[in-house]
């Protein structure tokens, strides 16, 4: 028998291999737990980790036991109720002494195994069915704001950009390199002169005269090396790099009419989550405004936005009018970058769809950085889609896509926010 011992250093997180095996083994249970957690998450706290509960019965290891076999008799102490041959009734359900909660309870059970999913693990499980491994590599289109950033040094520039320390460092290195050989010869000549003076007292000795001449020549040569040369000068180099404004506002417009069922709202929520995560990587401050509408529009919080049971007909222009009012009153274009994402099944009154197109072209699009419209339907495009298609002829920063199933969310998102070619 051979025992193999792996002594390779695993770093600080020595339990990482065990954790990876655990996540692979109970992938199904973890995905179910993540799906339950998503429904209770808000958009703005989606990037946090999550405590995942798995029943202990699902993580128990299989074991082998040894049965005694055969027919045997035993005496249990304290038996005052049963005799040989009596039949023992099966305990009724729920008569056990366990203290755990029901399996579908939200409370923590003593029979549950609990562990913490990190932010990266939680995001990976959420994006797995959407195939989102490279979300953070997607970039926003370039902005017009720039900031000056240091980018090394250059050999030419203005006096105000002269970097004194770097120039002196270069001059010192040049003097050492140029005068190094002469300095070594001078040191040797001075040492030789000192030894010679100990044995020869006549200063007119030819050897002393030659050494004096050599020392004088070497010192003159070293002094001739300039302290600083134009070649040594270094200037700070600064370049301008694109800088997004530090604050942005994301408007989420959701159709909550009777035709928008829970599945469509769930698809819309996932799309809005992607957009929020996308914008937080480019802006320091993000405001999120939720606007829901049927025949009337209303600004609400996130919980009411996704879970309100109120429904009715559809007048999309009511949401666009409210959007315009909020932008002008609270988010002036000079200070904020406004992004709009609208989700609807596209069913709208014909006359109102025409009004929506005109409102977008003439009023809303000049105020926003980007407007994304997603139509969540499995059927043919509706009348709102046909009118919105005309907006793209007037504004290049208006985009629209259709989502049929949850698997379409990320491809549609990537198409809407891909980097534009110049």
**pLDDT > 60? residue 163:** yes
Residue 76 forms part of a structural domain? no
**Over pLDDT 90: what percentage of the chain?**
11
Query: Are 345 and 401 in a shared domain?
Result: yes
Query: Are 303 and 338 in a shared domain?
Result: yes
Residue 11 forms part of a structural domain? no
Query: Are 269 and 367 in a shared domain?
Result: yes
C-alpha–C-alpha distance, residues 402 and 415, integer Å: 11
Query: Are 251 and 234 in a shared domain?
Result: no
**Degrees, nearest 5: CA angle 355-357-360:** 105
Between 94 and 369, the higher pLDDT residue: 369
Residue 362 forms part of a structural domain? yes
Q: What is the mean pLDDT of the chain?
A: 76
* Residues 51 and 114: beta-carbon distance below 8 Å: yes
Give the CATH number, domain containing residue 409. 3.40.50.410
Average pLDDT for 335-346: 86
Query: Are 389 and 250 in a shared domain?
Result: yes
Last-in-domain residue among 238, 258, 275: 238
Query: Are 123 and 201 in a shared domain?
Result: no
Q: Quick one: how far is CA 361 from the chain centroid? A: 33
Out of 102-111, 176-185, 314-323, 396-405, least confident range:
102-111
Last-in-domain residue among 207, 238, 269: 238
pLDDT computed for residue 63 by the predictor: 66
* Residues 369 and 337: beta-carbon distance below 8 Å: yes
pLDDT computed for residue 70 by the predictor: 72
Range of the domain at 49: 16-59+111-128
* Residues 316 and 228: beta-carbon distance below 8 Å: no
Query: Are 368 and 226 in a shared domain?
Result: no
Per DSSP, the residues of 231-256 read GG--EEEEEEEE---SEEEEEEEEE-
The CA distances from residue 162 to 148, 226, 229, 233, 323, in Å, are: 17, 19, 14, 7, 51
DSSP state of 94: T
Strands 247-255 and 337-344: parallel
**pLDDT > 60? residue 46:** no
pLDDT in tens, 124-135: 666 565 433 333
**pLDDT > 70? residue 213:** yes
Taking each helix axis from N to C terminus, what angle separates 16-25 and 27-39, rounded to the nearest 10 degrees? 80
What's the number of domains the chain is made of? 3
pLDDT computed for residue 3 by the predictor: 58
pLDDT band at 54 (very low <50, low <70, confident <90, very high): low
Query: Are 234 and 303 in a shared domain?
Result: no
Last-in-domain residue among 238, 264, 288: 238
Q: How many CA atoms lie within 13 A of 182 on its CB side?
A: 17
pLDDT band at 99 (very low <50, low <70, confident <90, very high): very low
DSSP H or E stretch at residue 339: strand 337-344
Query: Are 312 and 386 in a shared domain?
Result: yes
Query: Are 371 and 261 in a shared domain?
Result: yes
Query: Are 51 and 178 in a shared domain?
Result: no
Q: How far apart are the first and last CA of the chain?
A: 67
Average pLDDT for 226-234: 87
Query: Are 341 and 412 in a shared domain?
Result: yes
Out of 108-117, 138-147, 277-286, 316-325, least confident range:
138-147
**pLDDT > 70? residue 339:** yes
Between 349 and 123, the higher pLDDT residue: 349
Residue 305 forms part of a structural domain? yes
């Amino acid at each position: 028998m051979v025992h193999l011992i792996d002594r390779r250093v695993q770093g600080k997180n020595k339990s990482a291999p065990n954790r990876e095996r655990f996540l692979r083994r109970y992938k199904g249970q973890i995905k179910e737990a993540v799906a339950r957690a998503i429904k209770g998450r808000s958009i703005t706290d989606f990037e946090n980790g999550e405590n995942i509960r798995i029943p202990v019965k699902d993580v128990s290891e299989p074991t082998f036991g040894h049965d005694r076999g055969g027919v045997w008799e035993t005496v249990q102490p304290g038996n005052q109720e049963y005799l040989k041959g009596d039949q023992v009734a099966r305990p009724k359900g729920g008569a056990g002494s366990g203290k755990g909660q029901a399996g579908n309870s939200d409370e923590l059970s003593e029979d549950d195994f609990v562990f913490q999913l990190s932010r990266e693990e939680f995001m990976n499980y959420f994006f797995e069915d959407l195939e989102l491994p490279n979300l953070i590599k997607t970039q926003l289109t370039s902005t017009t704001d720039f900031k000056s950033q240091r980018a090394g040094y250059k050999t030419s520039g203005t006096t105000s950009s002269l970097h004194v320390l770097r120039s002196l460092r270069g001059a010192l290195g040049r003097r050492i390199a140029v005068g190094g050989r002469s300095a070594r010869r001078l040191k040797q000549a001075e040492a030789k002169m000192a030894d010679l003076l100990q044995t020869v007292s006549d200063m007119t000795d030819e050897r002393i005269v030659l050494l004096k001449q050599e020392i004088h020549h070497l010192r003159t040569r070293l002094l001739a090396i300039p302290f600083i040369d134009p070649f040594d000068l270094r200037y700070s180099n600064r370049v301008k790099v694109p800088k997004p404004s530090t604050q942005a506002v994301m408007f989420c417009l959701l159709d909550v009419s009777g035709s928008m069922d829970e599945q469509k709202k769930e698809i819309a929520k996932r799309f809005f989550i992607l957009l929020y995560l996308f914008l937080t990587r480019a802006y320091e401050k993000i405001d999120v405004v939720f606007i829901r509408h049927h025949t009337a529009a209303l600004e609400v919080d996130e919980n009411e936005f996704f879970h309100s049971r109120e429904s009715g007909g559809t007048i999309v222009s009511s949401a666009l009018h409210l959007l315009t009012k909020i932008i002008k009153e609270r988010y002036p274009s000079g200070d904020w970058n406004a992004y709009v994402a609208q989700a609807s099944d596209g069913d709208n009154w014909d006359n109102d769809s025409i009004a929506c197109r005109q409102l977008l072209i003439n009023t809303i699009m000049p105020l926003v950085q980007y407007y994304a419209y997603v139509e969540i339907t499995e059927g043919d495009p509706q009348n709102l889609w046909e009118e919105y298609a005309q907006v793209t002829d007037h504004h290049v920063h208006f985009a629209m896509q259709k989502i049929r199933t949850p698997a379409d969310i990320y491809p549609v998102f990537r198409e809407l926010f891909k980097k534009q070619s110049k």
